[in-house]
Amino acid sequence: MAEVAKLIIDGKEYELPVITGSEGEKAIDIGKLRQVTGHITIDPAFMNSGSCYSSIAFIDGEKGILRYRGVPIEELAEHSNFVETAFLLIYGHLPTKQERQKFSTGLTRHSIIHEDMKNFFNGYPSSAHPMAILSAMVGALSAYYPNVTSADVTAEEMDENYVRLLSKVRTIAAASYKKSIGQPILYPRNDLSYCANFLHMMFAVPAEPYVVDEDVVKALNLLLIVHADHEQNCSTSTVRIVGSSRANVYASVSAGICALWGPLHGGANQEVIEMLQKIHDEKIPVSKVVADAKDKNSTFRLMGFGHRVYKNFDPRAKILKASCDKILSKMGIHDPLLDIAKELEEAALKDSYFVERKLYPNVDFYSGILYRAMGVPTNMFTVMFAIGRLPGWIAHYKELRADANAKIERPRQIYTGNTLTHYVPIDKR
Ligand code: SDX
């Protein structure tokens, strides 16, 4: 017997279907609610509303579980690399050797950007935030690959654009960094892996090639893997809502990059390091930081703490925290900000304010420590998040396109403005 929920409005009873997900999650299907009851639901920030059916990532916020296509994030972090994880997210299964070779070859072949695009960088001030450059450049890619805007673009052509985007995002990101420090933009190297190539484009200089440090490459793979997807977060939902208008993949991802930039979302990793640096430089006691974070009269928040879904540890934060110790000691780095971060976590998790609200460190709390250790400047941290999240955005865009029933996403609202008001000529106001 199909499960239903009963709703009583003005004494009349309505039955609404109850949907059960593959992990037992329950939802009330309100698809016909307005049609049968004349009512809509209202749920600002979609705290309790699902926007779609998806088979890409699963999060259990209460248990601190994250799986990509069913594979636990811990196993991917331990055994996989970013390219393989990207394939898993986009195509729904771990690649065979042949599939992975073809995917890697495509990423290598598409790593260079059109020479004309390099001119764009000359128009930006050196102080331009790299997220402003990244969002604009990704949107501009549709000008160079116009088949994405065609209604009869084929699946193969779309696959090629997904690989192009995944590959070129590194080149664009590294170029924005080189531009900001006044160094020449470097071409990618075909002999390097995905992550090593990015590090080469970021840190090599014409007179001194980048010496691949396998510990750094491994750390970068780990960071990108844990950022690769996270169900309907703000930026992924943005990609889907823009894609639902049948906008092309470059335009949709460009919108996602803008959404990610916000300090409550992907911009938090930059805010965390700036917060830890201020604590360090001004020798602010951790007790005062925790007190300020609790103070409702203060706008200060403990950046990198709290999450809309995780009401237990963010499994990604646990993975990154464990990696910080291992990677920094291997690199012979002692970062005082890591000590402060650990002290802050310990103090907050003992404080009833954080415990009652189930505020734990999220993915952004420790990621910046690792980026710093690699030499990535703070204003590039959110760009690193975007590079990591790109396979997830592409996977969701692809999933949306494959849904024959997908409609343009257009929420309703409850109007609270003036009732009927007639125009009054200015001399009578
Ligand atoms: C990401 O959605 C995703 O999956 C995102 C992400 C992904 O992979 O895509 O996981 C990546 O964006 C991680 C989050 C990064 N942002 C931050 O670290 C910024 C600091 N955190 C917060 O601002 C906040 O926790 C959010 C934005 C993450 C979640 O906000 P919610 O779900 O809207 O919760 P809320 O703001 O309503 O907070 C509930 C309570 C409030 O107190 P009360 O009104 O109940 O008294 O908790 C408090 C908040 O004041 N609170 C915090 C806090 N976070 C929440 N208080 C102090 N410091 C914080 N960090």
Domain locations along the chain: 4-50, 72-402
pLDDT at 334: 94
Contacts 24+ apart (CB under 8 A), 12-16: none
Pocket test for ligand 1, best of 265, 271, 289, 344 (most atoms within 8 A of CB): 265
**CA angle, 132 then 133 then 138, to 5°:** 110
Q: Could you tell me which of 308, 303, 310, 302 has the C-alpha nearest to residue 353?
A: 302
Q: Could you tell me which of 60, 54, 63, 50 has the C-alpha nearest to residue 18?
A: 50
- Work out whether strand 12-20 and strand 4-9 pair parallel, antiparallel, or are unpaired: antiparallel
Atom 52, ligand 1: which residue's CA is nearest? Answer: 301
Both tokens assigned to 414: 């409850």
* The amino acid at 54: S
Which helix H or strand E contains 175, and what residues bound it? helix 155-180
* Cβ neighbours of residue 258 closer than 8 Å, sequence gap 6 or more: 131, 135, 238
pLDDT at 82: 98
pLDDT at 1: 79
Give the CATH class of 4-50: mainly beta
Atom of ligand 1 nearest to the CA of 293: 57
Cβ proximity of 172 and 137 under 8 Å: yes
Pocket test for ligand 1, best of 224, 301, 382 (most atoms within 8 A of CB): 301
Kindly report the pTM of this predicted structure.
Answer: 0.96
Q: How far is the CA of 33 from the centre of ligand 1 (A)?
A: 31
CA separation for the pair 71, 66 (Å, rounded): 8
**CA angle, 280 then 284 then 290, to 5°:** 110
Instruction: Establish whether domains 4-50 and 72-402 are of one fold.
Output: no
Q: Residue 121, Cα to own-chain centre: how many angstroms?
A: 24
Annotated active-site positions, please? 307, 364
The CATH fold of domain 72-402? Citrate Synthase; domain 1 (1.10.580)
Cβ proximity of 175 and 121 under 8 Å: yes
Q: What is the CB < 6 Å shell around ligand 1?
A: 230, 233, 264-266, 268, 293, 301-309, 357, 359, 362-364
Query: Which segments of the chain have a pLDDT < 70?
Result: none
Q: At what angle do helices 194-203 and 155-180 cross, to 10 degrees?
A: 30
